[in-house]
Structure formats: C-alpha cells, structure tokens
Amino acid sequence: MATIYDVAKRAKVSIATVSRVLNNSPLVSEKTRERVKKAIEELNYSPNVIASALTKKSTLTLGLLIPDIANPFFAELARGVEDASADFGFNIIICNTDYRSDKEAEYIRLLKQKSIDGFIISTAYYNDENVINLIKSNTPVVILGRDIDGEDMVVDVVVSDNVNGGYIATKHLIDLGHKNIACLLGPPQVKVNLDREKGYLKAMEEAGLKVRPELIVFGDFKVEFGFKKAIELLSLEHRPTAFFAANDLTAIGVIKAARFMGLEVPRDISVVGYDNTMLAEIVDPPLTTVNQQMRKMGYMATEFLIKRIKGESSGGQRIVLDVDLVVRRSTSRVYN
Amino acid sequence: MATIYDVAKRAKVSIATVSRVLNNSPLVSEKTRERVKKAIEELNYSPNVIASALTKKSTLTLGLLIPDIANPFFAELARGVEDASADFGFNIIICNTDYRSDKEAEYIRLLKQKSIDGFIISTAYYNDENVINLIKSNTPVVILGRDIDGEDMVVDVVVSDNVNGGYIATKHLIDLGHKNIACLLGPPQVKVNLDREKGYLKAMEEAGLKVRPELIVFGDFKVEFGFKKAIELLSLEHRPTAFFAANDLTAIGVIKAARFMGLEVPRDISVVGYDNTMLAEIVDPPLTTVNQQMRKMGYMATEFLIKRIKGESSGGQRIVLDVDLVVRRSTSRVYN
DNA sequence: CTGAAAGCGCTAACAA
DNA sequence: TTGTTAGCGCTTTCAG
C-alpha cells in the first residue's frame, strides 16, 4: 500500500503538502494541488485513517449499542443509523448487549480503546450508570429511543412521543366502544413504558373509565410474554375485550393467545401493538399499531451526534418525534 | 486518558516493559509484571488500539457487508457474526449495500483505509468483481451464505446445502401428493437460487413429475414479488396446488395472494418457505420452511476469518451446513 | 530480564 | 506557498 511519502516523492513535494491537499487546505497552489492529485491517482493511494486518527483523534466511526440486532425494532433503528453514518462519511460498529449491563460496560470500554468518535445508545435502562459515566467523561453520546434524566449533562436525546403513543392507541380502543382494556408493557426500567402507561391512563381517565390495576402488567417485550399474560387475563371472570401492547411482538403473543383460546381477533378481542415493524403487516390479522418512524429516529440521532462531533452543535438537545396510529384489522367495534 | 508512559513512570520501568506485560511476553520477571499490573490498575489504564494498530497492523475489527440489516435473514446472520466477534475480542462494522455494487465498492475502500483485519461478505452476486479483487489483494475474506468460484483464490466459504434445501422442500410437497408445484426464486445472479432450483428439479424428476417451465420464476426475495407472481400463477387455467418459495418473505407474499383470491392455505394451496426466520412462526398459518441455521453460519464464518487472521488457518475452506425442514401448518395433503 | 531508540503513517506548528 | 520537524501511543529490534 502506497503511503504519503510515495505520493510526495512522485509529486516532488513534501509530505506536508500532500497532507494539505488531502485535507483540502487552501494553502496550496492550484498547480501543485493538481500535481499531487495526479500522483495520488496514479498510485491509487488512499490515506490510512488509523495513522491520522493518532493525531487528529478522529476515526470517523461511531459505536451503536443496542440490545439485539435480530429484533426488528432495533434492526430498523440500526438501519437509520447506518444510513446517516454513510451519508456523512462515518462507519458504525454494532454491539448487542442483550439487555446486560456488564456487556454494555465491556463494549463501552472496548470502543473507547478504539477511539471511536461517539456513541449512539439505545440500550439503556433509565439512568443507567455506565451511560451516565460515559457522558460525564465528555464523550459525545446520543440516546436513541430511550430516555435519560439529562439535567446536568450534555447529551442529545431522540425519542418519540410515548405518552401520546399510549394515548392514541388506547383512545382508538375506547372510541370503538371498549371499556375493559388491558395494557401489556415492557420492563418498567425502560422509561418509554412508563410513558406509554401514562398515555393509557390519560385516555382512560379522560373517558371516565375506571382503571383496573390487574389489567396493567409489565413484562419483557417478547411474544411469549404477550401469550402467557393474555391467556391469564382472558381467563379472568370479567375479562378484557381489548389489549394495548407496548410492542408488536407482545401484541402478536396476544393474538396467538386469543386464537389458542378459541377467540377471534378482532371479533372477540381487539389488539393494538406498538412500533409498526414489518411484523405488523405480516401477522394475521394485520395489526393495528402505533407507528414510531424508527429509521427516522436512527437517522436523526446520528445526524445530531455527528454535528456534535464536528463541533457544529454543543449537544443537550431533546427531540421528540411524532407518532401516529396505523389502523389495520386487529381492532374493531365491540358489541356487548 | 493515561498512556503507556504514565504506567511506566508509576511502575518505575520503561515503556518497553509495560508493552511486554500488555502483550503477555514471557520476558518479564514475575515481580516487575506485578508492579506494572498494579500501576495499570491504579491508573485505570487501557491501551490505545489505534496506536498499536499503527505498528501491529491489527485493529481487532472486522467488516460485515450485507444487503440490508432490516431484512431478518441478514439480521440473523449479523447476530451470529457479532456473537463470534465478541467471543474472540473483535468488533464488527456493519455496511448495508442494498444490493448495489457501487456501494459495495465504496465500503470496501473505506474499510481498507481503516485497516480492518478482515471482511465477512454476504452480499455478493456470484463472482462479483469487487470481491474477487479484494480477495486477490490478499485481504482475509470469508464469503457467507453466498457462493463464489474460488478456484485460484484463498477464501473461505460458509454456505448451507441449498441444493438439498430445494430438494427437501419440494420432496415434502410431492410426498403430500402435489404434482403442480411452482418455484419462486430470488435473483439468478445469486447462486443459491440456482442451487435451490437444482434441488427442486431433482425432486421433481425423481418423482417422475413433469416440470412446467412457466412455474419456475426468478424474482427478488420480496413479499411483493411472491404476492404478484402467485396471483399470476393462480390465475392460470391449470394452476399449481403448491408453492416452493426461496425465502420466507416471498412465501408470505404467496399466502397473502392466496387469501386475496379467496383461497385457503393449506386447504387449497400449500406453501413452503426458506430460511426459517422469525416471520415463519408469526405468519398465519405458520409457515413450513427450510431451516438454515443463520446464526450458526454467521458464527462459523467469523470463527474461520479470525483463525485466518491469526494465522491459525491458511484459508480456502468450504463449509456446507446442513439444512432441515420445519413442518408447520402451511402445507397439507392434496385431495383431487 | 530490561531499556533506548527507531519507526508505524499522518498532522500541525513553526520556519522559511 | 511550501518544507522541516516534532509528536500521536505503541511495538519491536538491538544492546546491555
């Protein structure tokens, strides 16, 4: 592989001059610039990012921490992140933490060693210590799709309006005549779930419906959880006629449970999911769900981070994206 | 951030000695080793990978080229790749090429600049030029889930047995009494599709069934393709009673088409997919599909690559993983 | 067993 | 405008 010295020799200039044209410095005459460019071309030279990183401290790579890339929600986020990275000349290192704090810490350590320019974090429990420390160490960080209590810290946050998401989902069910609506959430340590619950409660109260605490359950975002909990709740004497689930996977579990118990969706049971992943279109019946614009969130988060890295922003922004309800065929009017 | 100099000073040794203990050189007495370790501990020092990469030429990071991480098939592969990377102390940079050769070339260029240690490529059309050149430039490469004509090149390949996959899928349908079986493949430039077709043909011939060329169609692996083509074929006068689709998404398209035309799966039409992604369990009816062990493929490919990088293997291996059929409820005996 | 010193490829003062 | 040179943080001879 050709080095900057080879180029300098060929163009009959110093390596400093070559470095200048590589970095688009104006302090180079048109003539020499051309000469250098020609040499670069001829040698098929391309600068070694590692070497320049050693002085410039910039590797043009970002770290993305997510629980699991095989989960379609995070895959969508990751796609948005990668799209933005590519658009701005960055690359991204993906890390699956499996919701484990030790893995998260280990990845953060590893990536710091590698001098990455910043972190996009979508894995944190609320006010996770690893993340707080990272932010306090002055590394550029953006929190994606999660929340953090960023009072005295410089950190960007990109989330969607989870309170409203919970609200419109529940309101939709109420408008269809449902009164007994179960609410299956993810882990309470992930703050979006508290927000979605808030939206649920708001809609219920607004409609003057009484909230039955036994119908509000925290879980783990998985199909299995939706399945088991739904069976439990559907076995209740006074069973719910509708479910609001905090993600599509859980909602799918509910649909499976209903079918398992010989009930039909949406005739007997209405179900609303959350995320609008590709699964929502595929499941039968197609799922009514809250659409989060995951790709856009990933893209925007990355844009913010890169601006921050380039010094074009000083961080500390909080972006809340809109959500909307995609009505498909898993919800219908209740007759009873 | 502490440097090797800080550690040296604190431990009262030279930086060379610190470097030796970092790299587990035996040429250090137990006593000094302990002293250095203590200093490292106290300073919370962790070596700068970028700096060491400059001399060692190893960044402990790999590049993964896939068409689209939002596609569950590739997400599963990527998960396997990342798992293995983590187990062996590597990180991975993910690149989405969207099946575009120009993007692929650009990513390869970028990652070479970053001195990554090797590539895992799962995007290539058969004998793709970018990839051939990369391999010939002597960079460690492993081809994952695709094929390549590696005659005179040192490259590892990890695939699954696609001929057999096509065979067992088709055989299953034949065993259920089907005679008119459509075969919806992905792009012919991706060799796995040719192999799956081979398996299909083999099963048909073995059973003495005549192959109707109009029932064999190449497409693009998408839901939409399965939907459109199925509608077309189901409108034929002498329509197929079963479909073998070369991935789950296409199979799902077929199921949607059947429903759209008022037909019931599997009563009227049987469908077999390929990949056994999570979608297969979620769709209704749950999809009978060929299971490819994507994670394992990703894991093995990465293991091979790392062995090659470490000099523990000289490359040129070809691993063919077994496939098996997961029978769910989208296929049934034909009565007519 | 340990240390001095020469790089790895590039950037960024500082001089000229 | 251009060149010289001192690092960036670490590895690796080569001496001792």
What pLDDT does A292 receive?
95
pTM of structure: 0.94
Instruction: Give the pLDDT band (50/70/90) at residue B152.
Output: confident
Residues from chain B that touch A3, judged by Cβ atoms under 8 A, are none
**Looking at the predicted structure, is the pLDDT value of residue A17 above 70?**
yes
Of B54, B60, B76, the CB nearest to A51: B54
User: Of B215, B283, B220, which is closest to residue B246 (Cα–Cα)?
Assistant: B220
- The pLDDT of A223-248, averaged and rounded, is 97
Host H or E run for residue B213: none
Instruction: Give the pLDDT band (50/70/90) at residue B284.
Output: confident
What pLDDT does B148 receive?
87
SS (H, E, C) A104-162: HHHHHHHHHHCCCCEEEECCCCCCCHHHHHHHHCCCCEEEECCCCCCCCCCCEEEEECH
Residue of B nearest to A259 (CA): B284
Q: Phi/psi of residue A270, each to 5°? A: -100, 145
Binary contact (B95, A114; C-beta < 8 A): no
**Looking at the predicted structure, is the pLDDT value of residue B336 above 90?**
no
Tens of pLDDT, residue by residue over A244-283, are 999 999 999 999 999 999 999 999 999 999 999 999 999 9
By the 8 A CB rule, do A287 and A259 touch?
A: no
Q: Which two tokens stand for residue B282?
A: 């979620």
b/e for A116-140, b at 16 or more Cβ within 10 A?
bbbbbbbbbbbebebbbebbeeebb
Which protein residue lies nearest to nucleotide C5, measured between its Cα and the C1' atom? Answer: B16
Give residues 101 to 120 of B whose Cβ lies within 8 Å of A.
Answer: 103, 109-115
The answer to whether A28 CB sits below 7 Å from nucleic acid chain D is: yes
CB count, 10 Å around CB of A17? Answer: 22
Residue of B nearest to A253 (CA): B282
Cα–Cα distance measured from residue B3 to residue B23, given in angstroms and rounded to the nearest whole number: 15
Percent of chain A whose predicted confidence (pLDDT) is above 90? 93
User: Of A304, A329, A325, which is closest to residue A314 (Cα–Cα)?
Assistant: A304
User: Of B111, B61, B137, B52, which is closest to residue A1 (Cα–Cα)?
Assistant: B137
By the 8 A CB rule, do A299 and A84 touch?
A: yes
Q: What are the structural domains, with CATH classification, of chain B?
A: 4-50 (1.10.260.40), 58-160+293-322 (3.40.50.2300), 162-292 (3.40.50.2300)
Residues from chain B that touch A250, judged by Cβ atoms under 8 A, are none
DSSP B255-270: HHHHHHTT--TTTT-E
Q: Phi/psi of residue B53, each to 5°? A: -60, -30
Tens of pLDDT, residue by residue over A30-53, are 999 999 999 999 999 999 999 999
Which nucleotide shows the minimum CA-to-C1' distance to residue B57? C8
Cα–Cα distance measured from residue A85 to residue A80, given in angstroms and rounded to the nearest whole number: 9
The single-letter code of the amino acid at A175 is: D
Instruction: Give the pLDDT band (50/70/90) at residue A336.
Output: low
Binary contact (A91, B91; C-beta < 8 A): no
Give residues 79 to 98 of B whose Cβ lies within 8 Å of A.
Answer: 79, 82-83, 86, 91-96
User: Of A321, A333, A307, A243, which is closest to residue A77 (Cα–Cα)?
Assistant: A321
Which nucleotide shows the minimum CA-to-C1' distance to residue B56? D11
Cβ burial of A12 (10 Å; 0-12, 13-18, 19+) is: exposed
User: Of A135, A237, A131, which is closest to residue A180 (Cα–Cα)?
Assistant: A237
User: Of A252, A191, A178, A179, which is closest to residue A218 (Cα–Cα)?
Assistant: A191
DSSP 3-state of A174: helix
Cα–Cα distance measured from residue B317 to residue B154, given in angstroms and rounded to the nearest whole number: 8
Binary contact (B82, A92; C-beta < 8 A): no
The answer to whether A96 CB sits below 7 Å from nucleic acid chain D is: no
Q: What does the mean pLDDT of chain A come to?
A: 95
The answer to whether B52 CB sits below 7 Å from nucleic acid chain D is: yes
Cα–Cα distance measured from residue B71 to residue B127, given in angstroms and rounded to the nearest whole number: 23
- Give, to the nearest 10 degrees, the angle between helix A162-175 and helix A191-206: 40
Which nucleotide shows the minimum CA-to-C1' distance to residue A7? C9
Q: Which two tokens stand for residue A145?
A: 């799709």
A98: left (phi over 0), alpha (psi -120 to 50) or beta: left
Which nucleotide shows the minimum CA-to-C1' distance to residue A26? D1
Percent of chain B whose predicted confidence (pLDDT) is above 70? 100
H helix intervals, chain B = 4-11, 15-22, 30-43, 49-56, 72-87, 101-113, 129-136, 162-175, 191-206, 223-234, 248-260, 279-282, 294-309
Which nucleotide shows the minimum CA-to-C1' distance to residue A31? D1
Instruction: Give the pLDDT band (50/70/90) at residue A147.
Output: confident
Cα–Cα distance measured from residue B314 to residue B308, given in angstroms and rounded to the nearest whole number: 6
Query: Any bridge partners for residue B120, and if so which?
Result: B64, B142
Instruction: Give the bases of strand D that a protein CB approaches within 7 Å.
Output: 1-5, 7-13
- The pLDDT of B141-150, averaged and rounded, is 90
Of A49, A79, A94, the CB nearest to B92: A94
**Looking at the predicted structure, is the pLDDT value of residue B204 above 80?**
yes
Tens of pLDDT, residue by residue over A71-105, are 999 999 999 999 999 999 999 999 999 999 999 99
The single-letter code of the amino acid at A177 is: G
Taking the alpha carbons at both ends of chain A, their separation in whole angstroms is 76
Residues from chain B that touch A69, judged by Cβ atoms under 8 A, are 69, 75, 78-79, 82
**Looking at the predicted structure, is the pLDDT value of residue B151 above 80?**
no
Residues from chain A that touch B103, judged by Cβ atoms under 8 A, are 86
**Looking at the predicted structure, is the pLDDT value of residue A152 above 90?**
no
By the 8 A CB rule, do B115 and B109 touch?
A: no
Binary contact (B284, A283; C-beta < 8 A): yes
Cβ burial of B88 (10 Å; 0-12, 13-18, 19+) is: middle
Tens of pLDDT, residue by residue over B245-282, are 999 999 999 999 999 999 999 999 999 999 999 999 99
Query: Any bridge partners for residue A213, and if so which?
Result: none
CB count, 10 Å around CB of B260? Answer: 12
E-assigned strand segments in A191-245? 216-218, 242-245
Residues from chain B that touch A93, judged by Cβ atoms under 8 A, are 61, 91-94
Instruction: Give the pLDDT band (50/70/90) at residue A124.
Output: confident
Q: What does the mean pLDDT of chain B come to?
A: 95
**Looking at the predicted structure, is the pLDDT value of residue A191 above 80?**
yes
- Give, to the nearest 10 degrees, the angle between helix A294-309 and helix A72-87: 40
The angle subtended at Cα A309 by Cα A304 and Cα A313, nearest 5°, is 55
